[in-house]
Amino acid sequence: MNYPNIQAEDLAVYEIIKREEQRQKEGIELIASENYVSRAVLEAMGSVLTNKYSEGYPGKRYYGGNEIIDQAESLAVERAKQLFEAEHVNVQPLSGSPANLAVYMALLNPGDKVLGFSLDQGGHLSHGHPLNFSGKLYTIIPYFAKKETEIIDMDEVEEIALREKPKMILAGFSAYSRNMDWKRFKEIADKVGAFTFADIAHAAGLIAGKQLENPVPYFDVVSTTTHKTLRGPRGAMIMCKEKFASVIDKSVFPGVQGGPHDHINAAKAVAYGEALKPSFQEYSKQVIKNAQKLASALQEKGYRIISGGTDNHLMLVDLFGSKQITGKEAEKCLEQVGISINKNMIPFDPRKPLDPSGIRLGTPALTTRGCKEADMQTVADLMDEALMNRADETKLASVKDKVKAFALKFPVPGIE
C-alpha cells in the first residue's frame, strides 16, 4: 500500500504510518491476538462504503440508499454462515466486547448468574472483570483449570453448574492452550437449563480453517472477533440458532449500537471469502504446527509451558517459575530487541497482574508472514538469547540486529 494522498496532505500522519510499517516489518510479532490482514481486506476498509449510514438490517433500514450496502452485509452474512455452519449471523458488532455486551443483554437480566472461565486463568475482561460491564451487571461464578494439570476439569464445571444453577454458561478464552469440550459444556447446560454462549474470539480462524472443533452446531450463541486468527478487519460477529435470531439482532441494534460500519462489514466479507479457500485450512494447520514447535523448542531450553503444550495457536510460559524472570521484565527485555509478546497471569499465579509470572505467545502473525517450524526454532533461540542476557545492553543490541535480519526475510502483507 502507498499513501500518496496522506503524504501530500498530512505529513504528520503519513510519517506515523511509515514508522509503524517499519516497526511491523522489522519486528517479530508473537502477540497471540494479533495478525496481518491481506491487501484485499485493507482495501475494503479504505473504501467509500465508510460514507454510508445504514441503521437496521438488509431490507429494513432507517435510511435510504442502502440497496448496495444491503448486498455487502448479506454477502458477509452468507459467507459467515457457510464458514461456521451457522443458522443465523449478525455481522454488525463493532468489536468483541460490544458483541458480548449484546449477547448478555439479549439473554440475561442484570444480576443473573453466569458461569465463566476465571479471568486470571485465561478468561476475557468481558467474562466478568469487576470493572467491566459483565462484572458490574451480572453475578459471575468462575470455573478454574485443575491445579495439577492446568487443564479445565469438566467434572468440576458440572459440579459448580449443578450447585449454582447459572442462567448462562460461557465457554471461551484469551489465554488457554487446550481444546474446549464444547459438547460437554452443552450437556452440562442442558442439565441445569442454562443458555450456552461460546466466545471464540481467539481460535475462530482455526475453527474456520477446520483444525479445531466448532461449537456453533452445539451452542445457542457464539461470538467472535474478526481480527485475531480469523485475519479480518477489527470487528466482531455473533452467530446463533434461528430461535435467538430476533433477540440477538435487536440487542445489537438498537440495543447496543447505532449504525453499522459498512466498510468494515465489506472487509469482513473479503476475509470470510479468504477463509473459505483451501489455503486458509493450510494456514490454520501451520499456525498450530508452529505453536507446537515453538513450545517444544522453549521446553528444550528449560522454559515451562503451562499444561505442558498447546493444541491451538497460543501458549503460556511460566517464566518466573522456570527462569526466575517476571512477565514484566520479559516484556520489556523482548520489546527492546523487537520481539512483541505480552505479560500474562498463569493459572494459580503467586504474583500480581501487573507483574505476573508468565508471558503469552502466539503464532498467527508469523505464520501469515510465511514462517514454518524451522523458523520457530530461530525465534526460540532469539528469545532465549535476549532473556539470558537481559542486563547486557551490547548483547541486546546484537540480538536486535538478528531479529531485524530474520524478520525482513518474511514480508508483511500490505507493506512494500
Ligand X SMILES: *Cc1c(COP(=O)(O)O)cnc(C)c1O
Smaller CB distance to ligand X: residue 97 or 290? 97
User: Which ranges constitute the DSSP H helices of 318-371?
Assistant: 319-323, 327-336, 364-368
> Looking at this protein, which amino acid is placed at residue 128?
G
Smaller CB distance to ligand X: residue 66 or 224? 224
Find the shortest distance in angstroms from Cβ 260 to ligand X.
Answer: 15
Among candidate residues 21, 26, 34, 55, the one labeled active-site is 55
Residues 325-333: contacts with CB within 8 Å, 24+ apart? 325/387, 325/390, 326/351, 326/355, 326/356, 326/357, 327/351, 327/355, 327/356, 327/357, 327/358, 327/359, 328/354, 328/355, 328/356, 329/390, 330/359, 330/387, 331/359, 333/386, 333/387, 333/390, 333/396
Any bridge partners for residue 362, and if so which? 314
Smaller CB distance to ligand X: residue 230 or 379? 230
Find the shortest distance in angstroms from Cβ 123 to ligand X.
Answer: 7
Among candidate residues 25, 53, 70, 87, the one labeled active-site is 53
Size of the site for ligand X (CB under 6 A): 15
Site for ligand X contains 205 (CB under 6 A)? no
79 catalytic? Reply is: no
Site for ligand X contains 225 (CB under 6 A)? yes
Smaller CB distance to ligand X: residue 18 or 129? 129
Residues 244-283 that bind ligand X (CB under 6 A): none
Find the shortest distance in angstroms from Cβ 273 to ligand X.
Answer: 21
Find the shortest distance in angstroms from Cβ 125 to ligand X.
Answer: 7
Find the shortest distance in angstroms from Cβ 215 to ligand X.
Answer: 13
Smaller CB distance to ligand X: residue 66 or 225? 225
Among 52, 61, 167, 202, binds ligand X (CB under 6 A): 202
Find the shortest distance in angstroms from Cβ 101 to ligand X.
Answer: 10
CA separation, residue 38 to residues 3, 50, 214, 349, 415 (Å): 16, 19, 24, 38, 10
Residue 255 phi/psi, 5-degree rounding, is -60, -50
Give the number of other CB atoms < 10 A from CB of residue 78: 13
Rounded to 5°, angle at Cα 115 from 92 and 242: 40
> Looking at this protein, which amino acid is placed at residue 343?
K
Smaller CB distance to ligand X: residue 186 or 202? 202
Smaller CB distance to ligand X: residue 126 or 342? 126
Q: Are the C-beta atoms of 315 and 31 separated by less than 8 Å? A: no
Among candidate residues 29, 73, 199, 375, the one labeled active-site is 199
234 catalytic? Reply is: yes
Site for ligand X contains 313 (CB under 6 A)? no
Residues 18-47 that bind ligand X (CB under 6 A): 33
Which range of residues in 51-59, 196-204, 254-262, 402-410 is near ligand X by CB under 6 A? Answer: 196-204
Strands 113-117, 168-172: pairing kind:
parallel
Which residue is it, cell 501530500? 8
163 catalytic? Reply is: no
363 catalytic? Reply is: no
Which positions from 114 to 153 touch ligand X by CB under 6 A, shown as an x/- string?
A: ----------x-x---------------------------
- Cis upstream peptide for 254 (omega within 30°): yes
Among 66, 90, 121, 174, binds ligand X (CB under 6 A): 174
Burial of 367 (0-12, 13-18, 19+ CB in 10 A): buried
Residues 65-104 that bind ligand X (CB under 6 A): 95-97, 100
Find the shortest distance in angstroms from Cβ 225 to ligand X.
Answer: 5
Cβ-count burial 21-53 (b if 16+ within 10 Å, e if not): beebbbbbbbbbbbbbbbeebbebbeeebeebb
228 catalytic? Reply is: yes
Strands 139-143, 168-172: pairing kind:
unpaired
Smaller CB distance to ligand X: residue 338 or 347? 347
63 catalytic? Reply is: no
Task: With residue 375 as reference, give the H or E element that holds it.
Answer: helix 373-388
Find the shortest distance in angstroms from Cβ 29 to ligand X.
Answer: 16
Q: Are the C-beta atoms of 61 and 393 separated by less than 8 Å? A: no
Q: Annotated catalytic sites, by residue?
A: 53, 55, 199, 225, 228, 234
Which chain residues interact with ligand X by CB under 6 A? 33, 95-97, 100, 124, 126, 172-174, 199, 201-202, 225, 236
